[in-house]
Amino acid sequence: MTNENCKKNYKSITNWVKKYARDNNIKSLIVGISGGIDSALVSTICANTGIKTLVVSLPIRQKENQLTRARNHAKWLLGKFENVQFIEKDLTSVFESFEDAFLENEKNDLSLANSRSRIRMTTLYQISGVNSGIVVGTGNKIEDFGVGFFTKYGDGGVDISPIADLTKSDVRDISRSIGINQEILEAKPTDGLWEDDRSDEDQMGATYEELEWAMEFRGSLSGLTEREYGVLEIYKRLNSANKHKMNKIPVYKVSSKRK
């Protein structure tokens, strides 16, 4: 994306968020920040609206480098925008109390990772309710509509999604153009939900750039490299497995007439 298009999209998305908030009498925008590039861009967009913006860090056994990036980004926002407030709430004890309520045979690593995300979502909505606000999503196009790489009713539980039509490459380009911290631009994407600090790529088996290519691929399979074919298979598998997240909730329709 050219620098001109980056600036244009940044302004357009900012205006879209501002209009939505004003049309719906929203008094504040709540954004969970992780130290990653998606939440960094969304929080900057929200701050740029001039509307009260609460950037919230919610560590749960968080790696120090992730927490440091989130704090540094919040400090950068506070220096640029007067309408920004930073909140940090360590939810480790909350999560551990939740975890302790289950026997060992009643939990697994994936369910607990998703529970971390859902505890964070609940916290963001608590803050939102107190501040007459909305929770602003940080998912990009690949995550939200390609491979479903988000937690249902966790980070997927939001009111609006400003960057859900931007690829990860778009997010990086726009973030670079508006001066997002270099440490965030260079950080390996991670959801921060695992004890071993695994990256998104580790979990999915492909980079965002590869998945962007797979999402747009409409050509012939003949002539593809082994890696390209493998990425297509990864994309298809994840897309299929996570359809339940990306599609509307199924609703049974009553066929007989009500009396």
Superfamily of domain 3-246: HUPs (3.40.50.620)
Write the CB contacts of 94 (distance below 8 Å, at least 6 apart in sequence): 60, 119
Predicted TM-score (pTM) of this structure: 0.94
Q: What is the pLDDT of residues 62-76, one digit of tens each?
A: 989 999 999 999 999
Band of pLDDT at residue 193, cut at 50, 70 and 90: confident
The share of the chain scoring above pLDDT 70, in percent, equals: 99
Q: What is the pLDDT of residues 128-162, one digit of tens each?
A: 999 999 999 999 999 999 999 999 999 999 999 99
Write the CB contacts of 215 (distance below 8 Å, at least 6 apart in sequence): 141, 142, 146, 235
